[in-house]
A and B are shown apart, each in its own frame.
Chain A
Amino acid sequence: MTGTDESATAISARQLTRKFGDKVAVDHIDLDIPQGRIYGFLGPNGSGKSTTLRMLCGMLLPSDGHAEVFGLSVVKDAEAIRRRLGYMPQKFSLWEDLTTDENLRFIADLYGLEGDVEGRIAQQRATYNLERLRSQRAGTMSGGQKQRLALAAATLHSPELLLLDEPTSAVDPQSRRDFWERLFQLAEAGATILVSTHYMDEAERCHGLAIIAEGKVVAEGTPRALMAGVEANIFEIEGADGSAAPRLIRDLPWVHGVTQLGIRLRVLADRSVGDAESQLRTLLKQNGIEAQIERTDASLEDVFVVATKADKHGEQ
């Protein structure tokens, strides 16, 4: 077993592709995910996040390309990878008619945990705040409780790699915060975590990020670098929240998107247009709209909108 070498690669994929009939779910993606980091897949539903995760844990065979986990082929060495990997499917997949302890003991048996199994289970119960839920059946638990149990089960055998498929989609904000605290603790302890999400705030907390749309990686990097490198200038317009203004602005060919935020409009203008601000001002004035325009920093959502938009243009 390799130790935690921050520079080492946990996952690498080259031209990884998966088709379902005619539909291309994952379209020739390349990935290099370092060890000991939290790496995020950000993308809308149906963008191929889950399919990629499933290929990485050997549940689905790639149609083309290849991927390695810890240098092991996901096709040939799937069994060896499985022992070093914890997987948390999108849907709660433990047994609802079993209790916390029964579920954990079953998972312990499947992974062949040796030594003080009860001790390890107790440790997980303590870490994931499951002590009071010991003999409660999973089916009667809340979303947050189920999620803690699922994470406890996925990390029971101390995997080096954790694959989490939209782990927080059925969970309240406080539970989400707690959940991410735990992910950082696991990463601190040396685990590599690959997490898919469609929440911007979660994506922003990852060490590295790949934005995925229609099976392709459309942008990749640290959240900070992605935001800094966004191919758009962002403007916030106050006082133009009537129905006319958003439509007028959206019709401009160089505008990637208009989002209404309360009384403000957030406009993504292509970076190639240097005088976007004055053009906007002129447009609004011509239509008799009095508004204040202010330039602002890009958010991850802006990166996402621009990246997915560019991809669409590219395909046409």
Chain B
Amino acid sequence: MASNRFRASLRRLLAVATKEVRQLSRDKVTFGMIVGVPLMQITLFGYAINYDVRNLATVVQDDANSSMSREFIAQLKATQVVHVTYTTSSSDELARLMREGRASMAVVIPRDFERRLQSDTRPVVQILVDGSQPSLAGVAGGIAAMPVLTRHGEGPYSGGKRMTPRRIEIRTLYNPEKRTAVQIVPALIGVILSMTMVLFTSGAIVRERERGNLELLIATPLGRLELMVGKLLPYVAIGLIQTTLIMIVGSLLFSVPVVGHLANLYAATLMFIAATLGLGLFVSTLAQTQFQAFQLAFVTLLPSILLSGFMFPFEGMPVVAQWIAQVLPLTHFNVIIRGIMLRGADLPEVWPQLAKLAVFLTVMLMIAVARFKKRLD
């Protein structure tokens, strides 16, 4: 008896899932978005979001004008951080170029450059950076740490880094442990899943209501949970497909490694997908129309992107923002995915984050089911 009821329930659930897949396969736009959104975003963000600073317009005032100072300038240029746009011998002109914003950085090599190199007491070179541009503020420190007059790849920063020698020429001088794509791609898995999962699922459920199908469904023996799980199931598969797609593109275009086990990665991603679908389900109970659902989905998306540690370091945010971030599944997934993909973490090591995702999912499901019941009324 019980097994019969279970079988009937499973049959209804699978019928809903089958119907959803069938409808999805006929909805060319949505279907295109499933593949198109991850491809577009990873390509766009992978290239566009770049914390590296390059080709800064620089004015050089070489008062020493010796072979050593010229070699120093050549080395500066070789970092590609600096693009020597102007050379001048007047400090007034240098100040003017900076003020007018035509140069973002100025390098002043003093007359007694060689002497200063011998002694440790006085600064060798003065570097001026345009502090009004936030991303440039850190550059001075990077340049200052540059080992003056060492050969390519022989500097003190080249040892112990898992990077190719060619990269060392640039990175060791400037951004030794941070390669943007490596940070961005794993986080993009979470962002793209947040975007598509919430959007698609909330839309898919609201669509039934908007088109009047729900009224018929309610009159059938179909249960709430059967309907919800049946509708979400196809999107779990879609989420995993998207994850795979992002990892393949990340590996091909940006050489982003997967250090940890793939099984761990998929298991953690599955948990995250479930949590995000729970959020989508909740959104669907708030919205009356697909348009409202999309708006609400975006309302959840923006804090996810801004507060989860994807854009800005989590530690630097105010306490209130950190609290909000704690509620967002993406915050925890970012920790998990970076751990697994880049540091080779095992599931037990990211257990606290997984647990938080599980709690999030449970709460969302409970609210959604409770609210959905009211909807029937």
Contacts and interface: CB of A to CB of B under 8 A. Distances in A.
A105 B15 CA distance: 9
A82 interface: yes
A102 interface: yes
A97 B216 contact: no
Given A93-B213, A95-B213, A57 B219 contact: yes
Given A94-B216, A98-B22, A112 B27 contact: no
Contact of A92 (B14, B26, B212, B217): B212
A301 interface: no
Contacts of A57: 219
Interface stretch (A83-91, A173-181, A246-254): A83-91
A46 to B, nearest CB: 17
Contact of B12 (A85, A91, A110): A110
A98 B19 contact: yes
Contact of A106 (B19, B211, B218): B19
A59 interface: yes
Interface string A96-118: 11100010011101111000000
Contacts of A79: 221
A93 B8 CA distance: 23
Nearest to B11: A109
Contacts of B26: 97
B121 interface: no
A59 B376 CA distance: 6
A110 B221 contact: yes
A173 B212 CA distance: 25
A61 interface: yes
Contact of A61 (B11, B18, B217, B377): B377
Contact of B8 (A97, A105, A106, A112): A112
Contacts of B19: 95, 98, 102, 106
Interface residues of B, number: 24
A85 B216 CA distance: 12
Contact of B216 (A58, A89, A105, A109): A89
A60 interface: yes
Nearest to B7: A112
Interface string B2-30: 00000010011011001100110011000
A95 B19 CA distance: 9
B215 interface: yes
Contact of A91 (B15, B212, B221, B377): B212
A87 B376 contact: no
B158 to A, nearest CB: 60
Given A112-B8, A112-B11, A59 B221 contact: no
B262 interface: no
Interface in A102-148: 102, 105-107, 109-112
Nearest to A54: B215
Interface in B200-251: 211-213, 215-222
B215 A91 contact: yes
A90 to B, nearest CB: 9
Contact of A97 (B27, B222, B376): B27
Contacts of A94: 213, 216
A59 B220 contact: no
A96 B211 contact: yes
A82 B220 contact: yes
Contacts of B376: 59-60
A105 B16 CA distance: 11
Contacts of A102: 19, 22
Contacts of A82: 219-221
B226 to A, nearest CB: 9
Contacts of B213: 93-95
B31 to A, nearest CB: 12
A87 B216 contact: yes
Nearest to B19: A106
Contacts of A61: 377
Given A57-B219, A87-B219, A97-B27, A112 B12 contact: yes
Most buried by A among B11, B23, B218: B218
A270 B255 CA distance: 90
A61 B373 CA distance: 12
Nearest to B12: A110
A59 B218 contact: yes
Contacts of B212: 89, 91-93
Contact of B377 (A60, A97, A106): A60
Contacts of A109: 11-12, 14-15
A59 B219 contact: yes
Given A60-B377, A98-B19, A107 B220 contact: yes
Contacts of A91: 212, 215
B361 to A, nearest CB: 26
Most buried by B among A57, A97, A105, A111: A97
Contacts of A83: 221
Contacts of A87: 216, 219
Contacts of B215: 59, 89, 91, 93
Contacts of A97: 22-23, 26-27
Interface of A: 57-61, 79, 82-83, 85, 87, 89, 91-98, 102, 105-107, 109-112
Interface of B: 8, 11-12, 14-15, 18-19, 22-23, 26-27, 211-213, 215-222, 376-377
Given A98-B22, A112-B8, A112-B11, 13 more contacts: A57-B219, A59-B218, A61-B377, A89-B212, A89-B215, A89-B216, A93-B213, A94-B216, A95-B23, A109-B14, A110-B220, A110-B222, A111-B220
28 contacts: A57-B219, A58-B219, A59-B218, A59-B219, A60-B376, A61-B377, A79-B221, A82-B220, A87-B216, A89-B212, A89-B215, A89-B219, A91-B215, A93-B212, A93-B213, A93-B215, A95-B19, A96-B211, A97-B22, A97-B26, A98-B19, A98-B22, A98-B23, A106-B15, A106-B19, A109-B12, A110-B220, A112-B8
